């Protein structure tokens, strides 16, 4: 069954992008252990969401954007949906390219703009692997980067461990002010990534399409043994991927909560790096920067893959790989060129992603609950109920955020 694993680990890189690092690091530095519960809850919701996305791709042989492109008959509705999804993809690239650029600056002193260009070029090379060599080699490269990310971000927790009682207190859901709500929305936007929902269905489709077609009659008309086996493996795949991603995200917040509060400038990636270097040593700081670089390179490749799938599925348009890469890379380079504070841009981009979640999540829950779409593999009632509750929670959090910001609270 091991050969069936992989798509979730690739999609899971989206949960460890530089936006996650910025959001979790800022949350820990500003509020200590207060938002631990948001990371844990977000990861739990992400498990169900990513499994539903993968199931959709496995059973139907289509991605979520493809199905929506076929179901949305009104071309203006389809274009409007594409536009919001494309803005989400751009916000994703902003976070990932800026993170890679910051890492190159920390490690080698490279200018931020040139660091962004280098990050974009390397991500294009990684995408070429997927286009030329197929899904499996691409998965191996991304999983290698995932190992580097995990080591780089988690190392500091073992050198500067968190307070156990503080961690337990942080599991109690609560907010203190508008800033904590903003960061909670940012963490959720970084944890439950809309483009990861789109990408996972496509990754599963790409990996299992040939296998599914070869067994189509026996699988769908003679008991579903083949699809059932793939779905069992997918549950393991998602569990492993989210266990890794959740643990590393929690480690980032705990690292900041335990070692960075009260230190000036630690709500930025550069300031956090310097504080980690001064407090925990150069080796831990270098590991952090290397993890940030690997995070930017891996996640921007997955983000560009998702963006291409969004355009292909909804607009039936295939752009050349280079053109597609430039389409979402340019906004990130503009931000770097205008010298907007990188960490602020990262956190705001994650809030944008949080507002894009319902547009991916609600259709996913609806489609996977339909017999018309998944037949015998449609969601059980309790699965759909949990998906609805998760959707309502995320939408409510965003409404509260808007109200607090508008009222100046």
**pLDDT tens, residue by residue, 274-294:** 888 888 889 999 999 999 998
* Position with higher pLDDT, 90 vs 70: 70
118: Cβ contacts below 8 Å, ≥ 6 apart:
100, 101, 104, 110
Q: Model pTM?
A: 0.85
Q: Tell me the backbone φ, ψ of residue 109, rounded to 5 degrees.
A: 75, 20
In Å, how far from its chain's centre is CA 168? 26
DSSP 10: H
* Position with higher pLDDT, 408 vs 138: 138
Q: How many domains does the chain have?
A: 1
Question: Is residue 217 predicted with pLDDT exceeding 60?
Answer: no
Q: Which of 158, 182, 157 minimizes the C-alpha distance to 348?
A: 182
Question: Is residue 223 predicted with pLDDT exceeding 60?
Answer: no
Mean pLDDT of 35-63: 91
117 lies in which domain range?
2-407
Tokens of 135: 């899904």
Tokens of 238: 């998602």
* Model pLDDT, residue 220: 43
DSSP 222: T
* Model pLDDT, residue 254: 93
Question: Is residue 125 predicted with pLDDT exceeding 90?
Answer: no
368 in Cβ contact with 204 (< 8 Å): no
DSSP string, 144-191: HHHHHHHHHHHHHHHHSPPPHHHHHHTTS----SHHHHHHHHHHHHHH
85: Cβ contacts below 8 Å, ≥ 6 apart:
65, 194, 198, 310, 314, 356, 359, 360
Question: Is residue 169 predicted with pLDDT exceeding 50?
Answer: yes
Q: Tell me the backbone φ, ψ of residue 142, rounded to 5 degrees.
A: -65, -40
* Model pLDDT, residue 219: 45
Question: Is residue 15 predicted with pLDDT exceeding 90?
Answer: no
* Model pLDDT, residue 341: 75
Q: What CATH number should be reported for the domain holding residue 188? A: 1.20.1740.10
C-alpha separations of 145 from 75, 141, 188, 295 in Å: 39, 6, 23, 7
C-alpha separations of 8 from 116, 122, 128 in Å: 27, 22, 20
E-strand stretches of 322-378? none
213: Cβ contacts below 8 Å, ≥ 6 apart:
61
4 — pLDDT class (breaks 50, 70, 90) = low
222 — pLDDT class (breaks 50, 70, 90) = very low
Question: Is residue 358 predicted with pLDDT exceeding 60?
Answer: yes
Question: Is residue 215 predicted with pLDDT exceeding 60?
Answer: no
- Please give the share of the chain, as a percent, with pLDDT higher than 70: 89
Q: Which helix (H) or strand (E) holds 215?
A: none
* Model pLDDT, residue 131: 72
Helix-helix angle 135-159:282-315, to 10 degrees: 150
Question: Is residue 224 predicted with pLDDT exceeding 80?
Answer: no
């Amino acid at each position: 069954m091991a050969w069936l694993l992989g798509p979730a680990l690739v999609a899971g890189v989206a949960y460890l992008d530089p936006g996650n690092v910025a959001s979790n690091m800022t949350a820990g530095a500003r509020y200590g252990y207060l938002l631990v519960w948001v990371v844990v809850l977000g990861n739990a919701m992400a498990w169900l969401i990513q499994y539903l996305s993968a199931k959709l791709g496995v059973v139907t042989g289509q991605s979520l954007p493809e199905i929506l492109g076929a179901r949305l008959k009104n071309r203006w509705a389809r274009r409007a949906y594409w536009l919001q999804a494309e803005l989400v993809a751009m916000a994703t690239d902003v976070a990932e390219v800026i993170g890679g650029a910051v890492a190159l600056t920390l490690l080698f002193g490279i200018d931020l703009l040139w660091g962004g260009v280098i990050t974009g070029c390397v991500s294009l090379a990684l995408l070429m692997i997927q286009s030329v060599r197929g899904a499996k080699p691409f998965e191996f490269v991304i999983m290698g980067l995932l190992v580097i990310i995990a080591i780089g971000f988690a190392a500091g927790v073992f050198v500067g461990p968190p307070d156990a009682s503080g961690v337990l207190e942080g599991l109690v859901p609560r907010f203190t002010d508008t800033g904590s709500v903003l960061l909670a929305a940012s963490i959720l936007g970084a944890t439950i990534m809309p483009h990861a929902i789109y990408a996972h269905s496509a990754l599963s489709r790409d990996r299992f399409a040939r296998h599914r077609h070869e067994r189509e009659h026996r699988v769908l008309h003679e008991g579903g043994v083949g699809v059932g086996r793939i779905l069992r493996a997918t549950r393991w795949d998602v569990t492993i991927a989210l266990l890794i991603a959740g643990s590393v995200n929690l480690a980032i917040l705990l690292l900041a909560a335990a070692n960075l509060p009260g230190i000036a400038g630690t709500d930025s990636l550069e300031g956090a790096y310097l504080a980690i270097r001064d407090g925990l040593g150069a080796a831990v700081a270098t590991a952090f920067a290397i993890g940030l670089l690997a995070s930017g390179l891996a996640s921007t490749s997955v983000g560009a893959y998702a963006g291409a799938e969004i355009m292909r599925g909804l607009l039936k348009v295939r752009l050349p790989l280079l053109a597609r890469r430039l389409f979402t890379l340019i906004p990130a380079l503009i931000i770097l060129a205008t010298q907007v504070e990188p960490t602020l841009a990262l956190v705001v981009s994650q809030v944008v992603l949080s507002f894009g979640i319902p547009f991916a999540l609600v259709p996913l829950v609806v489609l996977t609950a339909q017999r018309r779409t998944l037949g015998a593999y449609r969601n059980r009632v309790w699965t759909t109920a949990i998906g609805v509750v998760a959707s309502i929670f995320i939408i409510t959090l965003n409404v509260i955020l808007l109200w607090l910001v508008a009222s100046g609270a």
